[in-house]
Amino acid sequence: MNTVSLNVSRHGLLQVIKKSPALAEQAINQIFRRATQEGTREAKREAPKADSTLTNSIAPKQLSYTHHQIITGPHYSRYVEEGTGPGGWVPDKTMEDWLKVKGIRPRDPDMSMEQLVYLIQTHIFYTGTPSQPYLKPAAALIRKRLPAIAPPVLERVFNKGFKA
Of the listed ranges 7-16, 48-57, 107-116, 155-164, the least confidently predicted one is: 7-16
Q: Is 157 exposed, middle or buried (0-12, 13-18, 19+ CB in 10 A)?
A: buried
Q: pTM of the predicted model, to two decimals?
A: 0.76
CB 29 within 8 A of CB 150: no
Kindly tell me if the per-residue pLDDT of 81 is higher than 90. Answer: yes
Kindly tell me if the per-residue pLDDT of 156 is higher than 60. Answer: yes
What average pLDDT does range 99-116 have in this prediction?
A: 94
Kindly tell me if the per-residue pLDDT of 4 is higher than 50. Answer: no
What pLDDT band is residue 16 in, cutting at 50, 70 and 90? low
Could you tell me the end-to-end alpha-carbon distance of the chain, in angstroms, rounded to an integer?
39
What average pLDDT does range 13-18 have in this prediction?
A: 67
Mean pLDDT of the chain: 86
What pLDDT band is residue 7 in, cutting at 50, 70 and 90? very low
- Tens of pLDDT, residue by residue over 22-75, are 888 888 899 999 999 999 999 999 999 877 889 999 999 998 888 899 999 998
What average pLDDT does range 71-88 have in this prediction?
A: 92
Amino acid at 113: M
Neighbours of 68 (CB within 10 A): 22
Amino acid at 38: E
Q: What pLDDT score does 2 carry?
A: 40
What pLDDT band is residue 161 in, cutting at 50, 70 and 90? low
- What is the Cα–Cα distance from 146 to 140, expressed in whole angstroms? 10
